């Protein structure tokens, strides 16, 4: 497969399902007693999914469950094992989907690329668009998993850490910070962390505004460029963040759609930043 875009359409996937591995990366939010937690989307996947798809557990398997914060990115060794567990080998073409607005698919897409696998694409509109078009679904645990070998090699330039972001805030490093959370969370009006707000100097491009409400697909490139106009006008590289590095991956994906390849995702995001009382919030 050859495409300049990180996206594939539902029509393309319908025509090429036999030649790719489809992964469903859905994770479900759970809000109770004023706290936000997460649960696996496996049960929903087994109720119905794109035929032949396999479930990719971003909550546990494709993250480091021993990390201090949810969705901490895994080591190369752990990622290799995770990829092999869903039948993705070194030469496999992967199409990632989810049952939400694409944040989970974007996170898994970013992880694959950061570990050296370029044959990975996001299903534009995800399973919501697939179902809305009355395309076939099947129930059950998913397609069979063949034995494969995946060689993960961590690439530079994909991730930012707390020290890097602090250097940007203090002016020791040049970068444009973009927060992918909602305007209410960006302003500190709402949020689930004890310290609310955003990293000083950040722009706000909410991941929820990147997709069409009617189709769940990404907006046209021209409209995405308008949303990111302030960041695109600056010559500096970009660092995206959110609460835990998930919505930030959607912003990174949208930036890739419009041709920006100098983006890094702050993996710990506000879960890490806000937990350190020494660090400023606006």
Q: Which residues pair with 28 in a beta bridge?
A: 39
Q: Contact at 8 Å (CB) between 125 and 210? A: no
- The kind and range of the H/E element at 252 are helix 247-257
∠ CA 146-147-153, nearest 5°, is 120
Q: Which residues pair with 15 in a beta bridge?
A: none
Q: Contact at 8 Å (CB) between 54 and 63? A: no
Strands (E) in the chain, as ranges, are: 7-8, 21-24, 27-32, 35-40, 54-55, 94-97, 120-123, 159-160, 176-179, 203-204, 238-241, 263-266
Q: What is the DSSP string of 206-221?
A: -GGGSB-TTT-SBPPH
Q: Active-site residues: which are they?
A: 242
Q: 1: which residues sit within 8 A by CB, 6+ positions away?
A: 16, 19, 20, 93, 119, 121
The residue among 255, 266, 86 whose CA lies nearest residue 169 is 266
């Amino acid at each position: 497969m050859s495409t300049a875009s990180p996206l594939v359409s539902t029509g393309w996937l319908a025509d090429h399902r036999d030649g790719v591995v489809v992964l469903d990366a859905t994770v479900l939010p759970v809000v109770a007693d004023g706290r936000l937690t997460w649960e696996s989307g496996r049960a929903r996947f087994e109720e119905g999914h794109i035929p032949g798809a396999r479930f990719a557990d971003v909550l546990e398997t494709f993250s480091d469950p021993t990390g201090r914060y949810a969705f901490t990115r895994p080591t190369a060794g752990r990622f290799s094992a995770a990829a092999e567990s869903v039948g993705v080998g070194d030469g496999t073409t992967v199409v990632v989907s989810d049952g939400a607005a694409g944040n989970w698919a974007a996170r898994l897409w970013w992880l694959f690329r950061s570990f050296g696998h370029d044959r990975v694409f996001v299903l534009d509109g995800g399973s919501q668009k697939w179902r809305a078009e009355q395309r076939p679904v099947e129930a059950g645990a998913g397609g069979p998993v063949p034995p494969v070998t995946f060689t993960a090699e961590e690439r530079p330039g994909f991730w930012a850490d707390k020290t890097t972001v602090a250097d940007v805030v203090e002016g020791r490093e040049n970068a444009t910070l973009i927060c992918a959370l909602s305007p209410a969370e960006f302003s500190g009006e709402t949020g689930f962390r004890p310290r609310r707000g955003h990293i000083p100097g950040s722009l706000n491009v909410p991941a929820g505004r990147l997709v069409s409400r009617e189709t769940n697909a990404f907006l046209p490139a021209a409209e995405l460029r308008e949303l990111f106009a302030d960041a695109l006008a600056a010559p500096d590289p970009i660092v995206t963040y959110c609460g835990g590095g998930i919505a930030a991956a959607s912003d990174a994906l949208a930036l890739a759609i419009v041709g920006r390849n100098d983006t890094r995702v702050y993996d710990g995001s506000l879960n890490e930043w806000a937990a350190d009382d020494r660090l400023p919030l606006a």
